[in-house]
Amino acid sequence: MRSGGAMTDDIRVMTAQLAADPASMVFLPLGEALRQRGQLEAAEKVAVSGLGRYPESADAHDLYARILGDGGQLEQAFDEWDIALRLDPEHVGAHKGIGFLYFVAGDLERALSHLETAARTLPEDAGAQAALARVKETLARQPTGNGDLSGDGAGVLDVPPLDVDGADPARLFAGLEGAEDGLILLDTRGLRLGGGLTSPDGTEVADAVSAHLAGVSQEAGRTARLLGLGSWISLAAESPDGHLFMVAPTTETLLLVVRERSVPLGRLAVVTERAATVARSWLEGLR
Amino acid sequence: MRALEPWVEAPLATFLAESSARLTLLMTSAGQVVAQHGFTRAFDVMSAAALGAAIMASTDELARLMEVPAFHALSHQGAHYGLFLSGFDTPRGRWIGLVVFGPESSLGLVQLFFQRMVADLVTVAPGPEPTGQVLGEDFEDELNASLRTLFGQ
Amino acid sequence: MQDLAVALESITRVHGVRGAMVVSVSDGLVVAESLMEDIDGAPIAALTASLATRLRRTTEAAGRRQPTFLHLRADTGTVLAVPSSGDLLVVAIGEQDVNVGLARLEMLHLAERGI
CATH number at residue A268: 3.30.450.30
Domain harbouring B24, CATH code: 3.30.450.30
Side chain identity, residue C108: L
Q: Could C70 and A235 be called an inter-chain contact, meaning their C-beta atoms sit closer than 8 Å? A: yes
Q: Residues of chain C whose C-beta is under 8 A from some C-beta in B? A: 24, 26-29, 42-43, 45-47, 49-50, 53
Asked if B111 reaches chain C (Cβ–Cβ under 8 Å), the answer is yes
Using pLDDT thresholds of 50, 70 and 90, give the confidence band for residue B129: low
Cβ–Cβ < 8 Å for A269, A22: no
Reference B56, options B86, B26, B23, B25; nearest CA is: B86
Residue C37 CB-density burial (10 A; 0-12 exposed, 13-18 middle, 19+ buried): exposed
> Are A223 and C62 a contacting pair at CB < 8 A?
no
Q: Do A174 and A280 reside in the same domain of the chain?
A: yes
Q: CA C47, C50, C53, C57 torsion: positive or negative?
A: negative
- Judgement on whether residues A204 and A131 belong to the same structural domain of the protein: no
pLDDT, tens digit (0-9, with 9 covering 90-100), for A113-127: 888 888 888 887 777
User: Which tens digit of pLDDT belongs to each residue from A151-196?
Assistant: 333 333 333 333 333 445 555 666 565 666 788 998 888 888 888 8
Between the CA of residue A165 and those of A112, A162, A189, A206, what are the distances in Å?
A: 22, 9, 16, 17
Instruction: Tell me whether residue A191 is in a domain.
Output: yes
| Domain extent at residue A105 | 4-141
- Binned at pLDDT 50, 70 and 90, residue A247 comes out as very high
Q: pLDDT tens digits for A197-228?
A: 988 888 889 888 988 888 888 899 999 999 99
In-domain check, residue B133: no
The span from the CA of B115 to the CA of C42, in Å, is 11
Would the pLDDT of A146 be above 70?
no
Average pLDDT over residues C38-61: 93
Q: Which residues of B are less than 8 Å from C81 in CB distance?
A: none
What dihedral angle (degrees, nearest 10) is formed by the CA atoms of C58, C63, C68, C70? Answer: -30
CATH of residue C13's domain is 3.30.450.30
Structural domain harbouring B121: 18-127+140-151
Number of domains in chain A: 2
Q: How confident is the model at residue A130 (pLDDT cuts 50, 70, 90)?
A: confident
Asked if residue A25 has pLDDT above 60, the reply is yes
Q: How far apart are CA A235 and CA A217, in angstroms?
A: 9
Chain C contact residues (CB < 8 Å to A): 43-44, 47-48, 50-51, 54-55, 57-59, 61-79, 93
Domain of C43 in residue numbering reads as 2-112
A212 min Cα distance to partner chain C (Å): 5
Model pLDDT for residues B69-91, shown as the tens digit of each residue: 888 899 999 888 999 999 999 99
User: What SS3 class is residue C72?
Assistant: strand
Q: pLDDT tens digits for A96-107? A: 888 887 776 677
Distance from the A220 Cα atom to the nearest Cα atom in chain C, whole angstroms: 7
Query: In total, how many domains does chain C have?
Result: 1
The whole-number pLDDT of residue A235 equals 96
B20 touching C, CB under 8 A?
Answer: no
**What confidence tier does B43 reach under pLDDT thresholds 50, 70, 90?**
low
- For the cut 80, the answer to whether the pLDDT of residue C85 exceeds it is yes
CB-CB under 8 Å, A219 with C50: yes
Sort out which chain A residues have CB atoms less than 8 A from C73's CB and list them: 232-236
Regarding whether A119 and A33 lie in a shared domain, the answer is yes
Are the C-beta atoms of residues C51 and A220 closer than 8 Å to each other? yes
CA C73 to chain A, closest CA, distance in angstroms equals: 5
Is the residue at A239 inside a domain?
A: yes
The answer, yes or no, to whether residue B22 has pLDDT greater than 50, is: yes
Chain C partners within 8 Å of A240 (Cβ)? 64-65, 68
Count of domains for chain B? 1
Phi, psi of C91 (to 5 degrees): -125, 140
Query: What average pLDDT does this structure show over A22-39?
Result: 87
What CA–CA distances, in Å, run from A285 to A167, A251, A261? 9, 16, 34
Q: Which residues of C touch B109 (CB under 8 A)?
A: 28, 46-47, 50
| Position B4 in a domain | no
* Residue C28 scores a pLDDT above 90: yes
Instruction: Say if A159 falls within a structural domain.
Output: no
What's the pLDDT score for residue B135? 46
Neighbors of chain A by Cβ distance (3+ pairs < 8 Å):
C
Give A198 to chain C, closest Cα distance, Å. 7
For the ranges A16-25, A40-49, A154-163, A252-261, the lowest mean pLDDT is seen at A154-163
Count the Cβ atoms, other than its own, within 10 Å of residue B66: 9
Which whole number is the average pLDDT over C35-56? 93
- Within-domain flag for B95: yes
Q: Which of A213, A222, A237 sits opposite C70 (nearest CB)?
A: A237
Q: Is the pLDDT of residue A29 over 70?
A: yes
Q: Is A258 helix (H, G, I), strand (E, B) or coil?
A: strand
CA distance B50 to B32: 8
The reply to whether A231 falls in a domain is: yes
Q: Rounded distance, CA A31 to CA A17, Å?
A: 13
Residue A152's pLDDT is: 36
Residue B116 confidence class, pLDDT cut points 50, 70, 90: very high
A150 has a pLDDT exceeding 50:
no
Judgement on whether residues A84 and A212 belong to the same structural domain of the protein: no
Residues C3-32: b if buried by 16+ CB within 10 A, e if exposed: ebeebbeebbebebbbbbbbbbbbbbbbbb
CA–CA separation, B127 vs B10, rounded Å?
18
